[in-house]
Amino acid sequence: MVFFQRSPQNFGGVFAYAMHRVRRHYQKSSGPVHLVNTSSEMSNPLITDDKAILSVLLYQFLHGKSAYSSFKQFNEVVKDNFIDLNDFKFWFKRFKNGKFDERDDNFSISDFKSMLSDDKHCLRACIFFEYLKEIQMKSEFHHNDAFVVYKRMNEVIDINYPEFDFCFYRFLRGEFDLDFEYNCNQIRSFSDLPLETVRKILKQLQFSERCRIRKVSYNLRNIVDDTKNEIDKFSIRFAKSQISVYIHLSHYESHFIKYYQLGDTCAVKRGDERKKFKGKNYMDFASNDLSILLNASKFDSLVIRFGNNSKNFIYFKSILNSVNAKLHVKQLYLTGSTVNQFVKILPFLKPGTLEAIGLEHCIDQQYNQEAAMKKLLKMDQWRQAKILSWRGNGFPFPLEFLSHFRTIWNVQLPYRKFF
């Protein structure tokens, strides 16, 4: 509903009545007091534009501010004390009762929000008010300040960011007309930015934000995947009916995610927040997220704990098959896996990048460990690694096959009788 777009005859009556309250304290016995027509007042719509003024009063009300705090803020920002506290109290009381003009309308909060978001003049008045707040608080203005303002406005008004950005920067250039016309093609979107600029922006986002923006479009997904997350430690732990993921990023940001099954319901816990998805399987949810993480990240350390269950390995290998390129991993640690499983995972890692290998393995009688080891010794990932930790069954080959490692831990070599 666009409340402000009434017939011209009634529309004039609405704001004549409204501003009778706003300007009434200027009425003195000697006649009306006229505002001084300075150049700043002539260009400031919140001094001269009745519709803009009342829109901002409603905008402040929707933010949940009291009449007193809104009164103080308005006059600090506009810097011309032509609205007194009683006027604010009058209008805030009407807004609270669902009233706006002299009619007996009964508007909801949703209706009030629509009034501001659907009418361009009213919406721009609110953006202009936020612009005035920003230039009052800051001696310098940075580009990310505009997005902070947008998020503040978006709490109470449904506003499109490209349109907000276009209007806000017009005001920064000193163009204060609220009724300007523009071609939609003038508003540039995120996808119009140069590729290198988009990559720089993505690198500034937190990990969770990058995962969300990846879902916006196919092109952004490719850019996010190409602009790798830098992750210090990525740990995946498989247990009965649950998968736990721990992510520690380079800039001291950590995330813990747990996927588990509750009957026919999948539960996903991220930090203190838990969501349930009825009729869904926890492994399907984990598979999608893990595929994204493995595809779009570089890892200093990748730790996988299989829990001595071959089904967990088969599940994880299916995720690796969905990854577009070899994983950038410096250190790989596997526990609860067999040598054969280790040999099948290693080809998914980029050789030369992999520096350290750690294996805490168990014996699988179904497979010939020595045959699997022969495959392992030929792999570039193994031959180019520099650090080895080998817990479990002894290393079945002579020392010469370990000569390329600079550091070796916990390796038991086979006993050879020399005499």
Q: How confident is the model at residue 234 (pLDDT cuts 50, 70, 90)?
A: very high
The 8-class DSSP code of residue 412 comes to P
Give residue 124's domain range: 8-185
Question: Quick one: 164 and 70 in the same domain?
Answer: yes
- State whether 284 and 403 are in the same domain: yes
From 185, 219, 244, give the residue that closes a domain: 185
Same domain, 237 and 167: no
Residue 399 lies in a domain: yes
Enter the DSSP assignment of 123: H
402 and 264: one domain? yes
Mean pLDDT of the region 122-149: 81
**Mean pLDDT lowest for which of 14-18, 98-102, 405-409?**
14-18
Domain end (from 152, 185, 218):
185
Tens digits of residue pLDDT in 137-178: 766 666 667 888 888 898 888 888 888 888 888 888 888 888
Residue 1 in any domain: the answer is no
Q: How confident is the model at residue 370 (pLDDT cuts 50, 70, 90)?
A: confident
Is 166 in the same domain as 288?
Answer: no
Contact at 8 Å (CB) between 15 and 50? yes
226: confidence class by pLDDT, cuts 50, 70, 90: confident
Say how many domains are in the chain.
2
Q: What DSSP element (H or E) covers 114? A: helix 109-118
Judge if pTM exceeds 0.75.
no
pLDDT at position 353 over 90: yes
Q: What is the DSSP string of 239-271?
A: ETTEEEEEEEETTS-EEEEEEEEETTEEEEEET
